[in-house]
Amino acid sequence: MAVALQAPTRLPPVPGIRLSTCAAGIRYRGRDDLLLIDAGQDAAIAALFTTNAFCAAPVQVAREHLAAGAPRWLLINAGNANAGTGPAGVAAARATCAAAGRVCDADPHAVLPFSTGVIGEPLPVSLVEDALPCLYAGLRDDAWLAAGRAIMTTDTVLKGATRTVRLAAGTITLTGIAKGSGMIHPDMATMLAFIGTDARIDSALLRELLLDAVDRSFNAVTVDGDTSTNDALVCMASGASGVDLAAPADRERFLVALDSLCLELAEAIVRDGEGATKFVRVIVRGGRDRSEARRVAETVALSPLVKTALFASDPNWGRILAAVGRAGIETFLIERVRVTVNGVEIVSAGGRAPDYTEAAGQRAFAAAELDIVIDLARGDAEYTKYTCDFSYDYVRINADYRS
């Protein structure tokens, strides 16, 4: 059950970028599970990957291919993560890139592979190879919605967003899709996301802008504290518009749009967290520095006791205080801490606020969307973490995932 999240009904094309999906039967039946993206002949591509040491075979191969030259093609499958598969998994990822290269008349290094799904299962390379001719023949620029559906696993809602930006030399488009519902935590947040733009940007600048945007979005979300083996974020700039970011003001406008789009996609992942019934912003203010504020926000957002209290709409604010207290802040003065939930002051001077009532707390915690604001009164730094509650369905979904 997604929290106040609806699938987009339209995702506009990005000039210069084409997509195609098909049902390869990798794990699912009766739905598309394979996606091919053509970023364009002159595309610049920037990508960020999971920091999990057991990174999946496609992550290893995609990193190699990205470093080797100028990739153009993206090949994504759902239902099989090709992770925990050892050298055979790497060989399988390379084999799919070689097969895509043959069909697309491209060097295998021009293909970046991505996988999502069950860990530890061999990737059925032959099914991918059989589907590639149909995929290539079906490439078109208006398939973003179909692409978003094809990469879903435990997602209940297709996730996509778009922005139009007017720059000095013309108008550009940004469109993106993402998948993710469980095993969500930085770095990256666990998911796959693909963003396209027709702006003309070199890959170094594109990576710089992407890193900036990700810090406030995909790396600021958590569902369950588990960082995946497969997560990746790719931004493609086809350059088809001919509009560049030479002017500093244009670069700033582009970054604002990219920030906004990334945050919308990242929030959508949390809103569709496995079994989620609440969408929660943990906003920490008054930190001595951003790192300190982030540490407190993450500790609260990751607390199973806080998350289960949120599911029960139980204003058990002592769990929030306990999480703040174990965040590892040096020279911490609890008498300065103030906590509000949806505008209701619950804690002041390190204890229950004088005017707080249980009824007011219950009304605040019963909301489907909550802002938990924690003021440390130690400085000016601030950080926001996006999370959700833990429900009975989270356990059921993950207990049944392989069945």
The one-character DSSP state at 175 is: E
User: How does DSSP classify residue 10?
Assistant: -
- Using CA atoms, how far apart are residues 377 and 383, in angstroms rounded to an integer? 14
Q: Are 226 and 187 in contact (CB under 8 A)?
A: no
Q: Is 50 an active-site residue?
A: no
**Do residues 192 and 230 make contact, with C-beta atoms less than 8 angstroms apart?**
yes
DSSP-derived 3-state class of residue 394: helix
Tokens of 115: 């996988």
Q: Position 237: which residue type?
A: A
Burial class (CB in 10 A: 0-12, 13-18, 19+), 71: buried
Q: Read out DSSP for 62-102? A: HHHHHHHS---EEEEEEEE---S-HHHHHHHHHHHHHHHHH
Answer yes or no: are the C-beta atoms of 197 and 234 closer than 8 Å.
Answer: no
What distance lies between CA 380 and its chain's CA centroid? 28
Rounded CA gap, 269 and 264, in Å? 9
CA angle 181, 160, 294 (to 5 degrees): 55
CB atoms within 10 A of CB 196: 32
Selected catalytic residue, list 85, 116, 162, 190 = 190
Catalytic site positions? 190
